Structure formats: structure tokens, C-alpha cells
Amino acid sequence: MPGRTLPTFTAAEVEAHNTSTDCYVTIGDNVYDVSDFVEAHPGGPELVLDYAGKDVTAILKDEASHRHSESAYEILEESLVGFLVKEKSTNGVAKQANGEALVSVNGPDCGGDTWVHPRTGMSSAEDLNKETNAAEDFKKHKFLDLNKPLFMQVWNGGFSKEFYLDQIHRPRHYKGGDSAPFFGNFLEPLSKTPWWIVPTLWWPAIAYGSYLASKGFDYPIQQFLYSLLGLVLWTLVEYLLHRFLFHLDYYLPDNRVGITLHFTLHGVHHYLPMDKYRLVMPPTLFLVLAYPFYKLALSVFYWDWHVAVAVYAGGIFGYTCYDMTHYFLHHRNLPQYYQTLKKHHLEHHFLDYENGFGVSNKFWDMVFGTEISRAAPMKTK
């Protein structure tokens, strides 16, 4: 795949991005878009806006003014959008402010922050937020029109599995409305789930199940330990479901039934990863998946129904934490630990979808050897 050169900006162009919703800063020759970070800045948005369109090298290093942690630099790394140039040349070679020519980046040998993935054409998680021109995307790829219901386009598309997998793992970002239409009819509400639905529906059910289970224990600590076991078991289930069900990918049957089921279950999330209404599991799908695990809990802990329910309730609580974590990783600024987890998960989307299956944690990726590597090759068939 051809390489891609990140955009170049003159000083005047950078200075024009100086508002709370369109804020660029520079460090040396690197240009960063920090618009999404303005309101979340710990010192207040005014401190960022004072340097909007300007170089922040000195202020970042000024201990007397404000000490910046490593996480601040990590956020900047994810926000690289281009390079500062003295002028835009007419011969196709832009010059950096230091006079050196910019080099096109096209693969894992490029190194540094400008590594661009050969399949997705992305270099950082920030790319996931760049608006997709729906008309141009459809014209170029002949895959899905984001302005029309997606489900029937996949069902009637006649796509080969190879083409389908290639396309859904090239993330798009839709800004034409709250979400791209999925069914486009009375079923549309069933395809959208705000994150707060998860605790609203399931925490009362978990509390009731825990209350029933408590009647079988002499000491609360016993129930707590079994519930904790369920929570730990959930983290393994989360990993296995994500890896072997949601990313069945190359084991899919090469027909429209398999492809459409895959798209409905998880493919749509990789195709439109920043769609905030298709980030958590719809209640109907949760019920379909939850019932077999309830029966499994009863089978494994067959000697005591109360133990089985305590473990199951802990597992379901783990699921709710996972689903909310998944939403927050995509759409919220989080403490340091979660910043690392956020980078890990978003790299699963734009860098290497065949690794990095843990969402609420990276433990099982380390155990099973599926950690993300920036130089990891992607399958093409």
C-alpha cells in the first residue's frame, strides 16, 4: 500500500487554530491537535488557550509554572496531526522549520510517532476521530454508504469474506448524526444503547441475585469471595469472547449469513469505533449470551445453588464494569492507569485488531501472548 505523508502546516496556519474547539499547539516541528483535551486540562482550559496556536515546549518544561506528568506527553503523542514547515513548496516536497525535507511514512520501519499502519493508513488514535467523507469513502471503496441503513447493505452486498474483513478494519468516523442508520426502520432503537442503560438495568438485578444468594451463607465474607471469583472469571470470559467470538474473522463462513452476523455482533463497532450508541451490549443480546452462562454456573457449582448465584452475580457485575469501561475508553479522559488502557484498546482498533483483546485489563493478553506490537504484521487473507 502506498505510504502517507502526514499533513504540513505553516506557522500562520497553526496560529489560526486558537479556539476552545479547534486548538493546535506545537513542540518543535510537531503539530498537535489538543482540542479534545482543552476542557479536561487539570489546570483549567484557560491555561491551554493561552498557548493555542503556539509552541508549548518551554511551558511544558517550566517546573515553576506547572509540572507536567508523563501522561501529558502520552496524550500529545496520540494527538500528532502533522509537521511545522516554513513554507509549502510547489514541487511536492515540504520543508520543516529546520530546513529538512519531510519523509513519507509507510510501515513499521518508519519508527517514531509518525509510524503509519499499512492497512488502516493511521498513525495514532487521534485518526479515529477524523471525520469520514461518506460520499467519497463509498465512491472509493464501494463498501457501505454511511447515509443508508447498514444492515441490508451488508446482507445484500455480495461481499467476499476477504473484502469484508479488509473494509471493517479500516475505521470510519461518522458525524452525519448521532449514529449511522443500522436498520433504518422501527427496529432502529434496538441497535442503540446509551452506556447508562447497563448499570440502570443490571445493577438492581445483580443486587437482587446477591440478596437471594446471601441466604445460603453463614458469613458475608464467604459470599464476597465467591462473588470475587465470579468477577475474576469474567475477565477471562471477556478475553475469550472478544478473541474467539467477536473476532471469529478468518473462520467466518464465506457467505452473507456469516458476514452479516459478524457485522451485527462486532464488525459494526470496528467499522465505526467512535459511535457512542453502539459501544455497549444491547439488553436483548446480553440476555441471549447471559442465559447459557447462568446454566454453566449451575452446572459447575452444582452442589449449592447459592454458591452458583453468588459466582454468577459477581460475573455479571464484572460484565457491567467491562461495558462501561469500554465506553469510557472511547469517550472520556481518564486517570493515568486508564490512559494506558485506553491507548492499548484504541491501538486494537487502528493498529492491530488481531491482538489486544483485553478491554478492562491487559492481563490475559500477557498470559496468552496477544499483546499489541507496533510492528505486528496484519493478515491480508
**Spatial CB neighbours of 7, under 8 Å, sequence gap ≥ 6:** 81, 82, 83
CB 224 within 8 A of CB 231: no
The DSSP code sequence of 339-359 is HHHHHHHHHHHHT-TTS---S
Q: Cell 461518506 appears where?
A: 134
344 carries a ligand binding annotation? no
Q: What is the number of other CB atoms lying within 10 angstroms of the CB of residue 30?
A: 22
Q: Cell 462486532 appears where?
A: 266
Phi, psi (rounded to 5 degrees) for 162 = -60, -45
169 carries a ligand binding annotation? no
CB 124 within 8 A of CB 80: yes
CA dihedral 55, 60, 64, 70 (to 10 degrees): 170
Q: What is the number of other CB atoms lying within 10 angstroms of the CB of residue 32?
A: 23
| Residue 31, strand partner residues | 26, 82
Of the candidates 143, 139, 136, 129, the residue with the CA atom closest to the CA atom of residue 171: 129
Q: What is the distance between the alpha carbons of residues 302 and 237, in angstroms, rounded to a whole number?
A: 20
Of the candidates 310, 340, 306, 346, the residue with the CA atom closest to the CA atom of residue 326: 346
141 carries a ligand binding annotation? no
349 carries a ligand binding annotation? yes
Q: What is the distance between the alpha carbons of residues 193 and 280, in angstroms, rounded to a whole number?
A: 6
66 carries a ligand binding annotation? no
Q: What is the distance between the alpha carbons of residues 322 and 320, in angstroms, rounded to a whole number?
A: 5
| CA 60 to centroid of chain Cα atoms | 28
Q: Cell 432502529 appears where?
A: 188
266 carries a ligand binding annotation? yes
Of the candidates 230, 188, 208, the residue with the CA atom closest to the CA atom of residue 321: 230
Annotated binding site: 41, 68, 242, 247, 266, 269-270, 326, 330, 345, 348-349
For the annotated binding site for Zn(2+), the residues are 242, 247, 266, 269-270, 326, 330, 345, 348-349
Residues in the annotated binding site for heme:
41, 68
